[in-house]
């Protein structure tokens, strides 16, 4: 099975639900035009549209693009492997990449392209492969959830890796948001959120970051 078929099968099975990465991204965008790379079924673009923010999307999956287009969204099929984005420099105020870079063998190429077509802002969301649950699962001899083949992940991120990627692309990290374990349990949630702020690479399950040129 190739990558495109993998993604088509995924979008055939399910639709997106609003999660931490969507909420964190929406809080970082208040105006301007948006390009969503890895737009899937168009959930984020639809949420932005409801706020009066226009956007376009690109995705590898024909099935995901078909679902997004059915909602009246402007999305197209695109292979992110090694192709330049089909837009001129500085075309969008914000470029968003949520849960896409970890699916690429060369994420820096796409990040550079995102910086090229963005006027200013780049929002990146990635899972944290160094989280405490992943470390505990490895310790007891299990394959962590994010490392399993069903996820389609080929590049493993943690916060230092992401920061290094920004540095090599000459981007400045402006804002970092993360989610953590036990967030639905009030008292424990307070402790784990404090822990994630103090040691994000250990206690964060995923990151959503705002970077600027």
pLDDT digits (tens, 9 = 90+) for 33-56: 999 999 999 999 999 999 999 999
Q: Which residues contact 173 (CB under 8 A, 6 or more apart)?
A: 163, 166, 209, 210, 211
d(C-alpha 66, C-alpha 141), whole Å: 40
Confidence of residue 11 (pLDDT cuts 50, 70, 90): confident
Structural domain count, the chain: 1
> Which 8-state DSSP code applies to residue 87?
S
Q: Are 108 and 169 in contact (CB under 8 A)?
A: yes
Q: Has this prediction a pTM greater than 0.85? A: yes
Predicted local confidence at residue 31, as pLDDT: 95
For residue range 112-158, list pLDDT tens digits in order. 999 999 999 999 999 999 999 999 999 999 999 999 988 999 999 99
When pLDDT is cut at 50, 70 and 90, the band that residue 103 belongs to is very high
Return the CATH number at 157.
3.40.50.150
Q: Which domain holds residue 81?
A: 3-212
**Dist. CA 65–CA 39, nearest whole Å:** 8
Look at residue 176 in the predicted model and tell me its pLDDT. 97
- Per-residue pLDDT tens over the stretch 155-207: 999 999 999 999 999 999 999 999 998 887 887 778 888 888 999 999 999 99
pLDDT band at 1 (very low <50, low <70, confident <90, very high): low
* CA distances for 209 relative to 67, 96, 111, 144, angstroms: 27, 10, 13, 23
């Amino acid at each position: 099975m190739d990558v495109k078929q993998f993604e088509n099968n995924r979008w055939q099975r399910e639709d997106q639900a609003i999660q931490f990465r969507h909420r964190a991204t929406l809080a970082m965008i208040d105006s301007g035009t948006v390009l969503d790379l890895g737009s899937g079924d168009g959930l984020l673009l639809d949420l932005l549209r409801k706020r009066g923010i226009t956007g376009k999307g690109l995705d590898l999956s024909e099935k995901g693009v078909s679902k997004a287009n059915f909602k009246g969204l402007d999305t197209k099929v695109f292979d992110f492997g090694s192709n330049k984005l089909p837009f001129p420099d500085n075309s969008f105020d914000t470029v968003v990449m949520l849960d896409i870079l970890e699916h690429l063998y060369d994420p820096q190429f796409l990040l550079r392209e995102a910086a090229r077509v963005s006027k200013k802002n780049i929002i990146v969301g990635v899972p944290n492969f160094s989280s405490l649950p992943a470390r505990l699962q490895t310790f007891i001899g299990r394959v962590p959830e994010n490392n399993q083949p069903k996820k389609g992940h080929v590049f493993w991120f943690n916060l230092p890796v992401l920061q290094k990627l920004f540095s090599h692309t000459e981007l400045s990290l402006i804002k970092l948001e993360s989610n953590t374990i036990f967030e639905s349990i009030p008292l424990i949630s307070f402790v784990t959120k404090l822990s994630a702020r103090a040691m994000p690479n250990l206690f964060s399950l995923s990151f959503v970051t705002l970077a600027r040129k």
